[in-house]
Homo-oligomer: A and B are copies of this chain.
Amino acid sequence: MTPTNYAVTGFDAAGIAANIKKSGAPDLTLIASRTPCRAAATFTQNAFPAAPVLYDRQLLKFNPEGVHGVIINSGCANACTGTPGDVNARQTAEAVEKALGASDHSIFVMSTGVIGVQLPMDKLLAGIPKAVEQLKPDGWDAASRAIMTTDTRPKLFTRSLELGGQIVHFTGISKGAGMIHPNMATMLSTIVTDAHIAQPLLQQALSYAVNKSFNCISIDGDTSTNDTVLLLANGAAGHAEIIDATTRSFEVFQATLTAICTDLAQAVVLDGEGITKFVTIRVNGAQDDHAAHQGANTVATSPLVKTAFFGSDANWGRILAAIGRAGIKVEPEKCALFISGGPDAATRLPELQLVAGGTPLNYSEETATMIFKQPEIDVRIELGLDQGSATVWTTDLSYEYVKINGDYRT
């Protein structure tokens, strides 16, 4: 399905071991653009943003058009670290700028790992020249591995499109959903593209794509202190600059960016800790899209619904009860509920309706259970009120989740 060539014109990537992690596993990723590129980003809404998030927010305001790359460490989140943490984030960026020979204020910083511990700056600074040395156009596999914490596999995707006869490439990496490990934090993602696009449109496209992808996943409902999605565009593909959001060019750019963000976001869910099921919750017929999202999200984060997925129990009562407490407009007599499932997205058992008019139909419990035993489950809730709709991807809640998160940090 996915091409094996992840290269994007003008970008290099590397991933090395800098001994920030005690295990000796790779823990330092560098992504660099040979020419200045434009950046867009979305950051955590958490009121305890980590030092790199604070640094990146300022950088994005100050210099969104002269960016040279991003340095990402795993093993330490640099969150709840006060002023020394802020200084360390800045010094990391400056060290990379110097090592690359790049201009000032051109490098973003991301961190993921333990909260409340200062970055081991000696190890990090010693690792930077090593990472620079390893930079290469096909360094993406190494880059995607060095940002992993409890992830069981790297998340690396590429997409392309044609604009004015030129091929435009997108390559993206992401890691770990929510705060999935004891005291580990963070969903991080970096996407690079050689598209040529005005910076405000780049931000507009990223914000839209993140809303339709990363903001539609939930493993445990916990938002980390470090969540960051960064998009870099260097314009190397050679097509005419996209400067108008109403053009066909922007439309296809938006669609492809949303697609790769969805690839990355779904991969994060599929690697959620303790997961045995991948679940899609669709809510249609809500008052508006926002209400639909709130409804789908309440179902997706309900421990009772998630344990029912784990137990392969088509427990529609819990799903309706969750929708009912979502704080959105619901008229029980207009509600319908459908389920389907299968081994993967391509193969699905026929959809089965469980509820009509807010009360259960006389369906086969055996068929419903067979659907809920599938590794991928779709739940469709029709509210019958208006045109609002939303889709959220989530997982079940398993023994293994409790085990992973209940174990002591050390």
Residues of B within 8 A of A408 (CB): 311-313, 369
- Interface hits, A178-227 → B, CB 8 Å: 178-179, 182-183, 185, 220-225
Instruction: Indicate if the CB atoms of B359 and A321 lie closer than 8 Å.
Output: no
Instruction: Indicate if the CB atoms of A224 and B405 lie closer than 8 Å.
Output: no
Contacting residue for A325 out of B223, B322, B329, B360, CB 8 A? B223
The smallest beta-carbon distance between A291 and chain B, in angstroms, is: 12
The smallest beta-carbon distance between A380 and chain B, in angstroms, is: 17
Instruction: Indicate if the CB atoms of B116 and A316 lie closer than 8 Å.
Output: yes
Q: Chain B residue with minimal CB distance to A312? A: B408
Residues of B within 8 A of A220 (CB): 302-304
User: Which of A40-48, A87-95, A343-351 forms part of the interface with chain B?
Assistant: A40-48
Contacting residue for A45 out of B80, B114, B325, CB 8 A? B325
Residues of B within 8 A of A302 (CB): 220-222
Is residue A358 within 8 Å, beta carbon to beta carbon, of the partner chain? yes
Is residue A129 within 8 Å, beta carbon to beta carbon, of the partner chain? no
Is residue A71 within 8 Å, beta carbon to beta carbon, of the partner chain? no
Is residue A24 within 8 Å, beta carbon to beta carbon, of the partner chain? no
How far, in whole Å, are A304 and B303 apart by their CA atoms in the complex? Answer: 12
Is residue A163 within 8 Å, beta carbon to beta carbon, of the partner chain? no
- Interface hits, A104-153 → B, CB 8 Å: 114-116
How far, in whole Å, are A6 and B408 apart by their CA atoms in the complex? Answer: 45
The smallest beta-carbon distance between A101 and chain B, in angstroms, is: 35
Instruction: Indicate if the CB atoms of B318 and A179 lie closer than 8 Å.
Output: yes
Query: With contacts A47-B332, A303-B405 known, what are 10 further pairs, Cβ within 8 A?
Result: A45-B325, A179-B321, A182-B315, A183-B317, A223-B321, A225-B320, A225-B324, A310-B402, A311-B406, A315-B409
